[in-house]
Every structure is written in structure tokens, then in C-alpha cells.
Structure 1
Amino acid sequence: MALGRRNTMIFGGCIFFAGGAINAAAENIAMLILGRILLGIGVGFTNQATPVYLSEMAPAKWRGAFNTGFQLFNNMGVVAANCINFGTAPHPWGWRMSLGLATVPAAIMTIGALLIPDSPSSLVERNHINQARNALRKVRGPTADVESELQLMIQSSQVSKDMERESFVAIFERRYRPQLVMALAIPLSQQLSGISIVAFYAPNLFQSVVIGNNSALLSAVVLGLVNLGSTLVSTVVVDRLGRRVLFIVGGIQMLVCMISAAVVLAMGSGVNGTEQISKGNAIAVLVLLCFYTAGFAWSWGPLCWLIPSEIFPMKIRSTGQSIAIAVQFLATFVLSQTFLTMLCHFKFGAFLFYAGWLALSTIFVILFLPETRGISLDSMYAIWGKHWYWRRFVVEGYVDLCWDLFPPLLDEVVVVGNHTRGSMIVDNNEWKDLRHWRCNGGVMTSEPQRRRFGCKIWRF
């Protein structure tokens, strides 16, 4: 947060550019390793800052589409990289061009970040209120009334600053347990779905089903195009259908494809994987992997970036996104190092392994992930207080936080349920549906509490 989202993207882009340049000019293995390390650092910085920036800049009703655009352009880069690899593979200098062209997106990233304002939330957090107001007007329009949104950010920031602990310590507090669990579980589940295996080892997978060496890179291009097209679909529907629907339907689609691919491989190559697979079975596996990739690209792929960027309060938003990115990259590394060994030992069973994780992940989403569509970042706390399971964690912290944050905006606030078990904050839009509860045992808080909160508080 000290740098801000914009400066973090600029810094990451510069390191990204340096890594690509060193790789292109590499004269030995040490230079290649150094270049890859710098690339990893640069990508880490930009992947941490960019989704959060998009979520903070976008209106709540379009936040999913804007953030999904991050994955869309990632997939464009994957397709471009696969096409470049395919075109330069026959040439002895092809690897230099392939690695060196990483400087192009790095330059675009850096220059683009120089031309945009920092996010209003980041500016407010650093006490640049006037700059935050100007940034809001740029993205909402010069005639838009941005003061209410700005005041909400200021109040949220003030409450966050009153926290006694730093963000890397505070994120482990009980009241942030739901967000922390999601920041760990969603990226881990994404990688355990098996997508990185398909992406990293597409040439090996297609070669193992007798498509041939010359077609291996082309097959990666095909999967990349499927990925790109499906992500575009996600951009259109994510704010209409909601996050949960995409997670669940996409997870089921991927699960069916994984199990079907395992069955085809078992039938084609035998239980021990010793028989030659037929061309028909090879094509069937290719089609199933394409449908699997499509299911991932419009669900778990983009949503893995979106959810962590929108569920955390301002104070720990950067920390939460950093943890999610670290988990994703660590899981990618471990799985990419172990998949070929798993494939050799378990044959088609490797696909069943990932199918099992897909089933568990989909059930996890059904039970524990609340819908975040259309909810402003500064009001995101409410979804956890209403959830059947997570409310037991957030009530002790978030209810007190809400009292400090929202009374200036409300005339009356209702708390439903036992304070130690769960609660629900009700804003003015929902208050009219609960007015009759006043006659059913509602007790107003004491006068000192009323003065502290600045509004009437009814507890049931």
C-alpha cells in the first residue's frame, strides 16, 4: 500500500522488462536463471497489484467484467506466446526471440501504468483525498456525484487505520478468517483442478496420445484459443449470473471432462497404460481437454483473480491478494514438478486425482462462498455476516466495525440474532421489510451506545 497500485505496476513492469532483456541476451545458464528470476518478481508485483486496481476502479455492477479482463489479456498473451514458439521453433535463434519478446508486454504494462491515475482507495489510504476525488471523477465521469462514494472510502480507511495491528498480522485475526480461507482455498483449488498441467504439458500430453511432435505446439495454440474465447464469455456473464454460478457450472463441466478423459485413456491404453492408443481415442482426449479448458476459462480461471481482489477490507486488501498470488504460484510450481512423475506412475489415474479435487472444490464453493456480485468493496463485510457458517467468525469484529463505519449514512440499524452467534446489518434499502419486527421483542440500545453509534440500534 505504501507504493500504491499504480507505482507497484510500474515497478513490476520495469523488473519484468529487465528479465526479458537479460534472457534475450543470455550467454550462459546463469544469465537465463537471473532473467527468469527477474521475470518472476516482475510478474508477481503486477499480478498482485493489477486485479486489486481493477476491482477498486470499477463500479460494483461491472467489477466482474473489468477484473475478468485481466485474465482475458493474460490468455491473449498465452496465445501469442504459443504462436511465437510455434513459428520460431525451427530456427536456431528462435529461443532468443521467444524469450526477448517478453519485453514487449512489459513495456506496454509500464507505459500504460504511467498514463493512468492511481486507484481512489489507494490514494485515500495514503491521505491523498483530493487526488482520490479527481481519480473518481475520471472514471465515473465529470458530472457524476462522487462525494458519497469518497466519504465511504474515507470512513472505511479511518476504521482500518484504527486497527492496532499491521496488515500481515491483522489478516490472521478471527474476524478475517473467511477472507483468509478464501485467499488460500480458491487459488489452491484452481491449481488442483489440473489446468496448469494442461497448459504446461500440452505438448507432452498430446504427444502421449499419438498426435506427434510437429503438432504438439500447435495443440497448445488450439487450447490457448479455446481458453481465450471462453474467457471472453466469462467477461460478458460474470456480472449477470454471479460468481457462484460460474464456479459451480464450470466446476461440473471440468469434472465431467476429467473423468471422461480418464475413461478414454483407460480404454485406449489399458489399465496399465501399456497399449498403443488409437487415433480415434487420441482425438477424443483432445476434444475433452478442449471442453475442459473452456470450462476452466469461463469459471475458475478468471474468478481466481477476481474473488481475492474484492473480498478483503481496505487495510488488508493488498496483503490478502499477495497471499492468494503466493499460494497460486507455489501450487503451480509444486504441481508442475510432480505431474510427469504422477502421469508415469498412475497413467489415467492422474486425471482421476484432479477430478477428485474438482469435486471437493465445487462442493466447497456451494457451501462456503457467498455471492459477491454487485456489492461495493466497502460493503463487502455484510455478506460474511449473513452467511450460515462465516457469521460466527465475523460478528465479533465486523459488527463493531460497521457501527463505526456506517451510522453517518443510516437512520437506524438492525442486528438480528444472538450477538455471539451471528448478526445481520440491514441498510435503509432493506429496513422497510423489517419494520414490523419492532413489535416482536425489539430492544433499543442504551443511550450511551446510541450516542457512540450515532443512530438507533435495534437488537433481536
Structure 2
Amino acid sequence: MKINKSLIFILGALGGLLYGYDNGVISGALLFIDKDIPLNQYTEGLVVSAMVVGAIIGAGGSGPLSDRIGRRRLVLIIALVYIIGSLLMAFSPNIAVLILGRFVIGLAVGGSMATVPVYLSEMAPTEFRGSLGSLNQLMITIGILVAFLVNYAFTDIEGWRWMLGLAVVPSVILLIGIAFMPESPRWLLEHRSEKAARDVMKITFNSDKEIDHEIKEMREISKVSESTLSVLKSPWLRPTLIVGCVFALFQQIVGINAIIFYAPKIFGKAGLGEATSILGTVGIGTVNVLVTIIAVFIADKVGRKKLLVTGNIGMVASLVIMAILIWTMGIKSSAVIIIICLSLFIVFFGLTWGPILWVMLPEMFPMRARGAATGIATLVLNFGTLLVAQIFPILNSALSTEWVFLIFAVIGILAMLFVIKYLPETRGRSLEEIEYDLRKRTSAKTPDM
């Protein structure tokens, strides 16, 4: 069966929707779990962070696995794991099973985070790679928004089991959709044949000339006799791998997950009721989706570094303004201002750091270790998520809200300095050109191109 190329990218990015849903849904569910399964500050942190612990393991293991068995087969496994985790959470009789379900979901989350960006990047033509790679982040934001809407829909009945269990629906769609998705052409060229790679590229590329050029570059790179492990261990890749890992860590600790995980708690601290708090997160989620749609259209028109620096300036300004106003007016008098400032933060994050990380990570790494290296960076990213999930509730209890936001503002400034000094520009170059430049720059073995 022939499949439309747009549908390939949408189905390929569906793992991002599940990641976003399971990330966002916990914020509303936490308001009601305690009324059924007693929670304290420690167990609440475990419920949130169990998914992240699973994601760390899932990301670390899925990268090498995707290089070995292919991106498509791994997505099939990920869909099954999503289904199992969702059902465990929905029917959990106690805190232990609930945490286990969150952990299982985390395995799938980590796997999809490491695999989906690689798949989209390897499927996309060079001139559209930024836009198509941004689909992953768009699906993440849609997943978060759907989670917030589901949370609001089940607020009246305090239906936290429905909130957590409805992740089964997109999981089943992904499981069915995988039957119609082709394998990555770059993986096919390495493990099957040139003909198999060409057949897939004919779906997504506009001309035979483009395909011939990409195949030629892929062939030149593949002539370098290296294994995935030898590339990962090589001194020439190490600096880029470190930069990729720090880049991924910064994306998570600039403050976005504190807002996604704990927005209802922040609004509650500002004096808003449960339903109003969840409705506030729906507004934030809607803004997130809308600006990410814009990001899909501008990702290939503006330099990646320029977008990231602009985002940092906007996020830091939003946090600092919010902190100053809360300090001068008091948090309960600043509920509207908090919603506006958090929305501005989301605007700048959704236009820049949200999508650009998922575009750039697979761009930065060489073909033979792209899945594994992206998996390692994603592992570090999930460690950052875990750090925020564990520390934010403690900070929010120990410090006044404005000081918490100022801490994230300082982190945002450090992230901006890192981008300016260490991050390479990748817009407008093929994956093979980027790899060739990396090898040349680091005196690694290079093919004749």
C-alpha cells in the first residue's frame, strides 16, 4: 500500500504526542490521586519522577537498538510498551503499581524521544529538515494540550484514572500506523540495499537528482569502516557528544518542565481553585501548540543558533518580570500576571528551544552512531527532567515563588552563553555534509567527497 508522505511524518512523530500527553497529564492527575491513593511530598515526587527514571533507561537502551534493528521496528515495540504502561496506571490498586506504570510509560517515552527525531531527520530532504524535524515538538505540544483538556474534562468526577489511562488511544493508533510507515533510507542503505533506500526516498524527495545526490553522499560516508561502538568511543566524536548532552540538559532545566508538571500547583498557590488552575494550564497548552506551528514554518528560514539565542532572551525576560511583579505585588495579587508571563515563556520556548533541540540533535551526530548518540543525549535530557521533577517541589516549598523563577532565569542566561560559544550551525546542510565537516574539524578519518 502506497502511503502519502505527509502521513509518514505525522505517524512518525506520533511518539512525540504520547510523550507530551504523559508529561502533561500528571499535573492534573496529582490533584486527585491523593484522594484515592494517599500521597506525601516524597511519594508525589516518585509518581512524577518514575516516568523520568524509566525514560533515562529507555533513552539509553533505544539508541543502540534503533541502529541495530531499525527505527521502524523499535517504534512498534515502543507503542506496545506505551499501551502496557497506560493500563497499569489506569487500574493501579496502590501506589506501588501506579509508580510501576509510570516507570513502564517512561521506558516508552525515552525510546520515542531518542528514536522519533532520528527517524524524522533521516526521512526529510535537506531543505525541509528543520520544519519536518519540528513536527516532533509540535506533536509533543499537542500531546500536552490534549492532556490538559482531558484533565479539565474529568475534573468534576476527579477521574485521575481516566486521565492517565486514555494514553492507550494514541498508543493503539501508533501501533496500527507503524504498519504503513517505511524504514529510514539511511538505515536501509547501511543494512539492506541501495534499492530499498531509493524506494523510500522516492516517497519524500521531489526528484531523482536530489535522491542521487543524497545517495552519493551517504555512500561516501558509509565507505569509512567503523562500527557504532567505535564511533561512540572515538576521541573525535567526544566533544560533539558532550555539546549535544549539555544542549539537551539545558533544554530541560531552563524551566519548561517546572511549568508543565506543576502549573496547577503554581496557580493554586496564587489563589486559584482546582478547576480554574487546570483551565489555566489549558490556555498555556494552547499557546504552546500555536507557537510551535509557527516554529514549523520558520525552522528552515532562520539560523538555528539565532532562534535559540532569541528564545533565551525572551524566556529570561519573562521570568525576571514575573519575579519582580510577584515580589512587589504578592503572589495572590498576581494570578493574571503569572498566567501572562508563563504564557510568554511558553511562546519563546515553543518557537525556539522546544523544536530546535529535536531538529539539531540528530543533525549533529554521524550516521553510524546517530541513533546511539541521540539516545545518550536524550538520556541526559531525561536526567534534567528528573532533576526538575525532584527539586522543583522542594524549591517551591522552601523558597518564595519569585526566587524559584529567578533561579531558572539564571540558568537561561547560562544556556544562552553555551549556545553562542559551543553550538554549531546546521541549517541548510545535508546530514552527510555536517558529518564530513565534523570529521574534518576533528581530524577524524574522512571519505573523499
TM-score under structure 1 normalisation?
A: 0.79
How far apart in 1 are the matches of 2:151 and 2:220?
50
Deviation at 1:262, TM superposition (A): 1.2
How far apart in 2 are the matches of 1:45 and 1:285?
34
Structure 1 residues 303 and 145: alpha-carbon distance in aligned structure 2, compared to 1, 3 A threshold = closer
Deviation at 1:385, TM superposition (A): 7.3
Which of 161, 167, 179 is the matching residue for 1:114? 179
Structure 1 residues 169 and 104: alpha-carbon distance in aligned structure 2, compared to 1, 3 A threshold = same
How far apart in 1 are the matches of 2:265 and 2:325?
17
How far apart in 1 are the matches of 2:201 and 2:395?
50
Count how many residue pairs are aligned between Structure 1 and Structure 2.
382
Partner SS, residue 275 of structure 2: coil
Higher helix proportion: 2
Structure 1 residues 127 and 156: alpha-carbon distance in aligned structure 2, compared to 1, 3 A threshold = farther
Residue 137 (structure 1) aligns with: 202
Which of 350, 353, 369 is the matching residue for 1:316? 369
How far apart in 2 are the matches of 1:169 and 1:31?
40
Which of 48, 61, 75 is the matching residue for 1:9? 75
Q: Percent identity?
A: 31
How far apart in 1 are the matches of 2:424 and 2:271?
44
How far apart in 2 are the matches of 1:291 and 1:297?
10
How far apart in 2 are the matches of 1:225 and 1:345?
31
Whose RCO is larger (CA < 8 A, sep 6+)? Answer: 2
How far apart in 2 are the matches of 1:148 and 1:340?
52
Question: Counterparts in 2 of 1:123-134, with a 5 A limit?
Answer: 123-134=188-199
Partner SS, residue 69 of structure 2: coil
Residue 447 (structure 1) aligns with: none
How far apart in 1 are the matches of 2:393 and 2:103?
23
How far apart in 2 are the matches of 1:154 and 1:184?
28
**1:37-95 deviations in whole A, cap 9, x for unaligned?**
22111122222111101000101111010010111011111111111111112215x22
Residue 455 (structure 1) aligns with: none
Deviation at 1:306, TM superposition (A): 1.4
What letter is aligned with 2:370?
Answer: R
Residue 192 (structure 1) aligns with: 253
Residue 233 (structure 1) aligns with: 294
Preserved CA contact (<8 Å) 1:72 1:231: yes
- In the alignment, structure 2 segments of 5+ residues that lack a partner are 1-66
What letter is aligned with 2:398?
Answer: H
Partner SS, residue 303 of structure 1: helix
How far apart in 2 are the matches of 1:36 and 1:217?
21
How far apart in 2 are the matches of 1:52 and 1:190?
18
Deviation at 1:214, TM superposition (A): 2.7
Q: Does 1:222 align with 2:283?
A: yes
Preserved CA contact (<8 Å) 1:13 1:42: yes
Residue 414 (structure 2) aligns with: 360
Preserved CA contact (<8 Å) 1:182 1:308: no
Preserved CA contact (<8 Å) 1:210 1:282: yes
Deviation at 1:142, TM superposition (A): 7.1
Preserved CA contact (<8 Å) 1:370 1:383: no
Partner SS, residue 241 of structure 1: coil
How far apart in 2 are the matches of 1:110 and 1:16?
10
**1:333-372 deviations in whole A, cap 9, x for unaligned?**
1211111211232322211111111111111111222211
Q: Does 1:154 align with 2:219?
A: yes
Deviation at 1:263, TM superposition (A): 0.8
TM-score under structure 2 normalisation?
A: 0.81
Preserved CA contact (<8 Å) 2:308 2:419: yes
Residue 36 (structure 1) aligns with: 102
Residue 388 (structure 2) aligns with: 335
**1:177-227 deviations in whole A, cap 9, x for unaligned?**
342122211111111211100111101111112223331111111111111
Question: Counterparts in 2 of 1:417-432, with a 5 A limit?
Answer: none
Q: Does 1:283 align with 2:336?
A: yes
Q: Does 1:372 align with 2:433?
A: no
Preserved CA contact (<8 Å) 1:137 1:144: no
What letter is aligned with 2:419?
Answer: V
How far apart in 2 are the matches of 1:349 and 1:25?
39
Give the structure with higher Rg (CA). 1
Partner SS, residue 288 of structure 1: helix
Deviation at 1:35, TM superposition (A): 2.1
Deviation at 1:145, TM superposition (A): 5.4
Structure 1 residues 22 and 370: alpha-carbon distance in aligned structure 2, compared to 1, 3 A threshold = same
**1:2-50 deviations in whole A, cap 9, x for unaligned?**
1101111111111111211232233333432332222111122222111
Structure 1 residues 149 and 143: alpha-carbon distance in aligned structure 2, compared to 1, 3 A threshold = closer
- In the alignment, structure 1 segments of 5+ residues that lack a partner are 270-276, 407-460
Preserved CA contact (<8 Å) 2:152 2:275: no
Structure 1 residues 108 and 142: alpha-carbon distance in aligned structure 2, compared to 1, 3 A threshold = farther
Structure 1 residues 123 and 352: alpha-carbon distance in aligned structure 2, compared to 1, 3 A threshold = same
What letter is aligned with 1:190?
Answer: Q
Q: Does 1:205 align with 2:266?
A: yes
**1:438-457 deviations in whole A, cap 9, x for unaligned?**
xxxxxxxxxxxxxxxxxxxx
Preserved CA contact (<8 Å) 1:242 1:373: yes
Residue 3 (structure 2) aligns with: none
